[in-house]
C-alpha cells in the first residue's frame, strides 16, 4: 500500500544545492524522481535519470519495497564497469534513496550502508602541462576554434556553459572584458578575461544580435557538446597529444596552473563555480609542489 506523504513543516530541505519547499509531496516513485531531479541541469537530469532507470529495471520493484540486499545485488551486477562508472551509478541511486528518506517517502535510507567501490583518483592524469596548452592554441588554424579553446582554458568553463554563451554574456571591461556564466544549480558567476582572451572573442558574433550564440555551428545554432568535443580532440591530436583529451581537461588545467602560479584557492573556487573549496583542493593533491620524497638522499 502506497503512502501519501505531505510535509507540513514550514522549513525547507536542502539537497545538494536544490532547496525543497516543505509542502512538496511524493505518492509514487515517479513523483519522487521528479522532485529529486527538479532544478538540476538538463545534463545532470539525463545522467541521474539513466542511472536510476537502470537500477529500477534491475530490481523490478517499487523503491519502497527495495532492501539493502537488492541494492547490493545491483552493485554486484555492475562489476564489469570501470570503478569510476560503478561509483557514478551507485552514487546516483544512493542520493535518490537518501532524498526519499529525508522527505518521508521512504521509511529507511537503505542505501546509506552501501560502500562505494574503491576508485583510484586519476585527476593528475587529466591535467595537461602549460606547454601543451600553448601548443594546442598555437596550432589551431580556425579563429573560432582557437577562441573556443582559449576560453575553455582561460575561464575554466564547463562545455555546457560554453555552448550556452550568447553575445549578451560578454561585456567590455576597461581594456579587456568579462563573461557571465550560468553554472550548475542555476548559479551565475562572472569571470574576468585577459586582454588577449578578450581580443580573441571580439568580432566572433558579427550579426549584431546579443541573443546569437558566441560559438556557432555552420547552420547558425550553438555548437553542441559533441561538436565542442570533436574540436578539442582534433586540436589535441594536432599538438601531438595522444590522450583522449576532453573539454573538461582544459578546466582541470586552468585550476591546476592557477594554483601552481600562486592564485588563492578561494579565487579559483569562485572562478570555476565550485560549491566547496574542498573540490578545488583536489588539484593541490593531484599536482603537489613539494614532497617529503624530495628531502631524501636517494
pLDDT at residue 77 in the model: 95
Q: How many CB atoms lie within 10 A of CB 42?
A: 8
CA distance 20 to 105: 14
pLDDT score of 4 more than 70:
no
pLDDT at residue 16 in the model: 45
The DSSP output letter for 189 is: E
DSSP string, 87-105: HHHHHHHHHHHHHHHHTTS
Q: What is the mean pLDDT of the chain?
A: 83
pLDDT score of 52 more than 90:
yes
pLDDT at residue 220 in the model: 78
CA distance 83 to 5: 36
Residue 106 sits at φ, ψ, to 5 deg, of: -110, 135
Contact of 245 with 232, CB cutoff 8 Å: yes
CA distance 274 to 151: 18
Q: Looking at 103-209, list the stretches that DSSP marks H as alpha helix, in order from N- to C-terminal side.
A: 130-139, 143-154, 159-163, 195-201
pLDDT score of 21 more than 50:
no
Q: Sorting pLDDT into bands at 50, 70 and 90, what band is 237?
A: very high
Contact of 111 with 98, CB cutoff 8 Å: yes
Share above pLDDT 70 across residues of the chain, in percent, rounded to a whole number: 85
CA distance 208 to 179: 17
Which grid cell sits at 44?
A: 545532470
Q: What Cα–Cα distance (Å) separates residue 50 from each residue in 89, 95, 230?
A: 9, 14, 24
pLDDT in tens, 54-86: 999 999 999 999 999 999 999 999 999 888 888
pLDDT at residue 266 in the model: 86
Residues whose CB falls within 8 Å of the CB of residue 47, separated by 6 or more in sequence, listed in order: 88, 92
Higher-scoring residue by pLDDT: 130, 286:
130
Among residues 64, 52, 72, which one has the least CA distance to residue 112? 72
Residues recognised as catalytic: 158, 184, 248, 251, 274, 283
Phi-psi category of 156—alpha, beta or left, where left has phi over 0 and alpha has psi -120 to 50? left
* Burial category of 69 from C-beta neighbours within 10 Å (exposed 0-12, middle 13-18, buried 19 and up): exposed
Residue 13 sits at φ, ψ, to 5 deg, of: -120, 130
Q: How far is CA 142 from its chain centroid?
A: 27
DSSP string, 36-83: HHTTS-HHHHHHHHHHHHHHHHHH-S-GGG--HHHHHHHHHHTTTS-H
pTM above 0.85, yes or no: no
Summarize the confidence of residues 251-264 as an average pLDDT: 87
The DSSP output letter for 64 is: G
Summarize the confidence of residues 117-126 as an average pLDDT: 72
Collapsing DSSP to helix, strand or coil, 170 comes out as strand
Residues whose CB falls within 8 Å of the CB of residue 96, separated by 6 or more in sequence, listed in order: 32, 33, 36, 48, 52, 63, 111
Amino acid at each position: 500500500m502506497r503512502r501519501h506523504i505531505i510535509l507540513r513543516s514550514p522549513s525547507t530541505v536542502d539537497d545538494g544545492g536544490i532547496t525543497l519547499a516543505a509542502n512538496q509531496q511524493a505518492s509514487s516513485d515517479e513523483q519522487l524522481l521528479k522532485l529529486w531531479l527538479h532544478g538540476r541541469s538538463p545534463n545532470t537530469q539525463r545522467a541521474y535519470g539513466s542511472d536510476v532507470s537502470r537500477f529500477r529495471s534491475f530490481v523490478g520493484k517499487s523503491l519502497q519495497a527495495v532492501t539493502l540486499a537488492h541494492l547490493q545485488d545491483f552493485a554486484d551486477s555492475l562489476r564489469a564497469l570501470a570503478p569510476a562508472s560503478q561509483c557514478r551509478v551507485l552514487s546516483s541511486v544512493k542520493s535518490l534513496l537518501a532524498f526519499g528518506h529525508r522527505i518521508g517517502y521512504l521509511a529507511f535510507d537503505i542505501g546509506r550502508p552501501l560502500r562505494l567501490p574503491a576508485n583510484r583518483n586519476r585527476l593528475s592524469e587529466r591535467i595537461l602541462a602549460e606547454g601543451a596548452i600553448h601548443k594546442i592554441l598555437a596550432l589551431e588554424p580556425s579563429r573560432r576554434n582557437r577562441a573556443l579553446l582559449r576560453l575553455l582554458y582561460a575561464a575554466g568553463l564547463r562545455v555546457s556553459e560554453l555552448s550556452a554563451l550568447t553575445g549578451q554574456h560578454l561585456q567590455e571591461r576597461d581594456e579587456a572584458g568579462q563573461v557571465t556564466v550560468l553554472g550548475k544549480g542555476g548559479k551565475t558567476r562572472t569571470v574576468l578575461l585577459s586582454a588577449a582572451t578578450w581580443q580573441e572573442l571580439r568580432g566572433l558574433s558579427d550579426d549584431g544580435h546579443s541573443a546569437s550564440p558566441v560559438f556557432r555551428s555552420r547552420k547558425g545554432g550553438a555548437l553542441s557538446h559533441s561538436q565542442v568535443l570533436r574540436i578539442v580532440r582534433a586540436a589535441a591530436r594536432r599538438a601531438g597529444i595522444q590522450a583522449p583529451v576532453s573539454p573538461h581537461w582544459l578546466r582541470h588545467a586552468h585550476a591546476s596552473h592557477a594554483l601552481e602560479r600562486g592564485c588563492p584557492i578561494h579565487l579559483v573556487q569562485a572562478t570555476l563555480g565550485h560549491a566547496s573549496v574542498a573540490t578545488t583542493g583536489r588539484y593541490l593533491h593531484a599536482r603537489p609542489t613539494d614532497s617529503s620524497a624530495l628531502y631524501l638522499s636517494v
